[in-house]
Amino acid sequence: MVLNWLDSDRERAGEKYEEIRRKLIKILARRGCTIAEELTDEAINRVCRKVQEVAPTYVGDPAHYFYGVAQKVFLEHVKKKPEPKPIPDPDPPDERRFECLEKCFEELDAESHELILQYYEDDKRAKIDHRKELAARLGLTLNGLRMRVHRIRAILQQCVLDCTREQEPA
């Protein structure tokens, strides 16, 4: 429904969606937001939930609605009292982290392993096109693909963290 609201041509609607997403991330990052992508995804999700109510009567560029919702999400985020973060351990030497990353990467299931390799393939425009093809091949939206990769990265990150802690000298 959101894509139909952005443009009747599916290809142009997808391009508009990506442009809106990029601009929202950029706007939030300029405001000093350290989790600009997460807040952008939350704003887009809220628009998706409300689009059936809003679209029929909305006048003007739908992008402005996205920007307004993102502004509200950002303000909610700023108002929340930040939770104290634990003091991080000093970073382990790069070589040890790299060894742990390789070990953790090999522990991934074959599908996740291949998805991560393909997701980070290419540069610039080729990367964007490749990710669109990858999402289509997997039957996912670009956002769905990003979320799947984000989850895999979180698993890898935790695995590397655990691995480096295990290798610390006593």
Specify the pLDDT at position 95: 82
85 occurs within a structural domain: no
The mean predicted confidence, pLDDT, of the chain is 88
148 pLDDT higher than 60: yes
> Are residues 98 and 75 located together in one domain of the fold?
no
Specify the pLDDT at position 113: 92
What average pLDDT does the segment 42-68 reach? Answer: 92
What average pLDDT does the segment 112-123 reach? Answer: 90
Residue 166 confidence class, pLDDT cut points 50, 70, 90:
confident
Give CA–CA dist 101/164, Å, rounded. Answer: 9
84 occurs within a structural domain: no
Number of domains in the chain: 2
Return the percentage of the chain with pLDDT > 70, whole number: 91
33 occurs within a structural domain: yes
Residue 118, CA distances (Å) to 17, 103, 121, 144, 159 in order? 22, 19, 5, 15, 21
Domain that holds residue 26: 2-79
123 pLDDT higher than 90: no
